[in-house]
Amino acid sequence: MKPIHIIGGGLAGCEAAWQIAAQGVRAILHEMRPLRLTAAHKTGSLAELVCSNSFRSDDHEHNAVGLLHEEMRRLNSLIMRAANANQVPAGGALAVDRDGFAAAVTEAIGANPRIEVQRQEIAGLPPEDWDSVIVATGPLTSQPLAEAIGTFTGENALAFFDAIAPIIHRDSIDMTVAWFQSRYDKAGPGGSGIDYINCPLTRVQYEAFVDGLIAGDKTTFHDWEGTPYFDGCLPIEVMAERGRETLRHGPMKPFGLTNPHPGTSKPYAVVQLRQDNKLGTLFNMVGFQTKLKHGEQTRIFCTIPGLEQAEFARLGGLHRNTFLNSPKLLDATLRLKAMPRLRFAGQITGCEGYVESAAVGLMAGRFAAAERLGETAAPPPSTTAHGALLNHITGGHIERIDAGPPSYQPMNVNFGLFPPSDRALPLDENGKRLRGPAKALARKRALCQRALNDLAQWIGAARMAAE
Ligand SMILES: Cc1cc2nc3c(=O)[nH]c(=O)nc-3n(C[C@H](O)[C@H](O)[C@H](O)COP(=O)(O)OP(=O)(O)OC[C@H]3O[C@@H](n4cnc5c(N)ncnc54)[C@H](O)[C@@H]3O)c2cc1C
Specify the pLDDT at position 212: 97
Residue among 162, 291, 344, 393 to mutate when testing ligand 1 (max atoms within 8 A of CB): 162
Phi, psi of 274 (to 5 degrees): -115, 140
Specify the pLDDT at position 232: 57
| Ramachandran assignment for 154, one of left (phi > 0), alpha (psi -120 to 50 degrees), beta (any other) | left
pLDDT for 7 beyond 90: yes
Distance 141 CA to ligand 1 centre (A): 8
Specify the pLDDT at position 401: 31
Per mean pLDDT, which range of 310-314, 394-398, 454-458 is the poorest? 394-398
Closest atom, ligand 1, to C-alpha of 348: 26
Specify the pLDDT at position 221: 58
Percentage of the residues of the chain whose pLDDT score is greater than 90: 63
Specify the pLDDT at position 27: 98
pLDDT for 161 beyond 70: no
In this structure, which residue's CA is closest to atom 2 in ligand 1? Answer: 162
pLDDT for 322 beyond 50: yes
In this structure, which residue's CA is closest to atom 52 in ligand 1? Answer: 162
Banded model confidence at residue 403, pLDDT cuts 50, 70, 90: very low
Q: Are strands 27-31 and 312-314 parallel, antiparallel or unpaired?
A: unpaired
Query: How far is residue 185's CA from residue 322's CA, in Å, rounded to a whole number?
Result: 38
Residue among 6, 14, 18, 32 to mutate when testing ligand 1 (max atoms within 8 A of CB): 32
Specify the pLDDT at position 406: 39
In this structure, which residue's CA is closest to atom 13 in ligand 1? Answer: 353
Specify the pLDDT at position 275: 84
pLDDT for 233 beyond 70: no
Specify the pLDDT at position 47: 98
Better-predicted residue by pLDDT, 188 or 295 = 295
Q: Which residues sit with their C-beta closer than 6 Å to ligand 1?
A: 7-13, 30-33, 38, 40-41, 50-52, 121-122, 136-142, 145, 162, 164, 319, 321, 346-348, 353-354, 357
Distance 201 CA to ligand 1 centre (A): 35
Banded model confidence at residue 160, pLDDT cuts 50, 70, 90: very low
pLDDT for 129 beyond 90: yes
| Average pLDDT score over residue span 238-253 | 94
Distance 347 CA to ligand 1 centre (A): 7
pLDDT tens track for 182-202: 999 988 767 788 889 999 999
pLDDT for 171 beyond 90: no
The mean pLDDT value of the chain amounts to 88
| Average pLDDT score over residue span 441-463 | 93
Are 31 and 9 in contact, with CB atoms under 8 Å apart?
yes
Residue among 347, 349, 355 to mutate when testing ligand 1 (max atoms within 8 A of CB): 347
Percentage of the residues of the chain whose pLDDT score is greater than 70: 90
Banded model confidence at residue 435, pLDDT cuts 50, 70, 90: confident
Q: Of 1-15, 178-192, 378-392, which one has max mean pLDDT?
A: 1-15
pLDDT for 159 beyond 60: no
Distance 423 CA to ligand 1 centre (A): 39
In this structure, which residue's CA is closest to atom 4 in ligand 1? Answer: 51
Specify the pLDDT at position 407: 46
Per mean pLDDT, which range of 100-104, 190-194, 316-320 is the poorest? 316-320
Distance 85 CA to ligand 1 centre (A): 21
pLDDT for 405 beyond 60: no
